[in-house]
Amino acid sequence: MASSRRTGAVITAALLALTACSGGDEPAESTSTASSSAPSPASPTTPDDLASPIDALGDDYPSIEAQQPLPDDVTSGQLRAWVASGRLPLAKTQSPHFETMINALDARREAPDVMVFGDSMTQQGIDPQVLGEELGQATGRDVTAFNAATSKARWGINRMIARHLVETDKAPDVAILVISTRAGDGDPHYEETVSRTPFSSVVEGCDRDAEGWTEEDASACESHIKDFRQRFSGAGDQVARAQQGRYPQTSLRVDDDTWLRSDGFMIHPSATKAAVEKKARSRAKGRSAGLPQASELGRTQFRDIARILEEQGTTVIATEIPYSPAYQQALERKTPSYDERRQRAARQLAEGADVEHFPVDSYGDWWGDGDSRDEIHLAPQGAKKYTRQLLDDTPGLRAAVTTGLRRG
């Protein structure tokens, strides 16, 4: 594990003691575990086919409803005690799937060896089970991998995750920052929503030099830290689990077709190549995709993540995940040099953080029926293939990761 580690239990206890005193590429993040399924599935996908237990935790895929009222008879002291005993998460987050991913990290006995960071393209496009198996073969030892990417995440959310990893002693040996097409844009989802959640309050504190952060925001933040009923307002379903003596879920049934595994990987149905190509043409024709860029905010946040993790002894590298070939080609026809802009923005993010960067032009010739969920996201079948492409066909990436693992 990375150097300067202390036991997770000690750090978490200390943190709890202190608390007592998308961007345009993705659909709006759901606040419920019910969402629409992808059209034109190529074949059915079930969690039994793809689930992998992590650290002896079984994946039972419960459903959690967001924005459920707290029972009137639950006191702030009870909530505080349940947090301290591990029967509640640290704080309410912006969505059940993000909360579940954090729960799965917190439930681990040790830090993962390798973690990937990014947005929903990475969450659905890099399979940590394949990553761990392949790297284990390369290093001759067991390697655990975790996908910490999440929906609509630019680098503000990922920075928040990195800060939480430090506080809970879960910083990995190797962090792979995966840059999607629009990852360097502004970060309205973090700035307007996530930064004002109780989880952000506890992890990131209330004294912030951020544009738009007001005295009212700081006051609400302090309430999240001190008043546990405020911290868990709207988390009635999660609190009901604690009342029943159950621990926070580490996997999640989002809907009948969508599951979050306990290693952070999101399972969605797949679509045929023809269906993806049709959607790609329609999307490129019907709306502006926006031009890839490395904004000043994006560069700052990306640099912050690298610094936070490197200070823990983590080896940090960067790579990319592109759109489907069908959508890349449609965008290139509409806006020549679109993909050149994508790759330049990714390079600028990596260079600004002084981390080694491994570019990716496109998916390999493996891409076809059943490999994508839609024109932007991969399905589980394609994620397995793309994970292997990163390790086998992206020059230098496998060596950089294995070197980081040996150094850790």
What average pLDDT does range 70-95 have in this prediction?
Answer: 95
Nearest Cα neighbor of 193 from 150, 229, 152 is 152
For residue 59, what pLDDT is reported? 84
Q: How many domains does the chain have?
A: 1
Residue 118 CB burial class (10 angstroms; 0-12, 13-18, ≥19)? buried
Instruction: Report if residue 222 sits inside a domain.
Output: no
- Where residue 11 falls among pLDDT bands split at 50, 70, 90? very low
For residue 93, what pLDDT is reported? 96
For residue 39, what pLDDT is reported? 37
Instruction: Report if residue 56 sits inside a domain.
Output: yes
pTM of the entire structure? 0.88
Instruction: Report if residue 312 sits inside a domain.
Output: yes
Instruction: Report if residue 80 sits inside a domain.
Output: no
- Where residue 46 falls among pLDDT bands split at 50, 70, 90? low
How many angstroms separate the Cα of 126 from the Cα of each of 153, 161, 304, 387? 15, 18, 23, 5
What average pLDDT does range 182-207 have in this prediction?
Answer: 95
Instruction: Report if residue 360 sits inside a domain.
Output: yes
- Where residue 48 falls among pLDDT bands split at 50, 70, 90? low
Strands laid side by side in the 174-179 sheet: 145-147, 114-117, 174-179, 315-320, 356-358
For residue 290, what pLDDT is reported? 83
Give the helix, strand, coil percentages of the chain, each rounded to 5. 45, 10, 45
For residue 277, what pLDDT is reported? 97
Element (H, E) at 226: helix 215-226
Instruction: Report if residue 301 sits inside a domain.
Output: yes
Model confidence at 148: pLDDT above 50? yes
Instruction: Report if residue 100 sits inside a domain.
Output: no
Model confidence at 36: pLDDT above 50? no
Between 256 and 93, the higher pLDDT residue = 93
Instruction: Report if residue 224 sits inside a domain.
Output: no
Nearest Cα neighbor of 269 from 383, 380, 368, 119 is 380
Model confidence at 55: pLDDT above 90? no
- φ and ψ of 320, to 5 deg: -135, 160
Q: Residue 29 sits in which domain range?
A: 8-60+111-186+259-407
Model confidence at 383: pLDDT above 50? yes
For residue 318, what pLDDT is reported? 98
Cα gap 267→311, rounded to integer Å: 33
What's the chain's average pLDDT?
88
Q: Tokens 């301290």 appear where?
A: 84
What average pLDDT does range 253-280 have in this prediction?
Answer: 95
What secondary structure does DSSP assign to 28-91, as a single string? Answer: PPPSSS--PPPSSBSS---HHHH---BTTB--------SSBPPPTT--HHHHHHHHHHTSS-SS
The CATH number of residue 300's host domain is 3.40.50.1110
pLDDT digits (tens, 9 = 90+) for 285-331: 877 778 999 999 999 999 999 999 999 999 999 999 999 999 999 99
Q: Tokens 């935790």 appear where?
A: 57
- Give me the residues paired with residue 258 across strands: 255
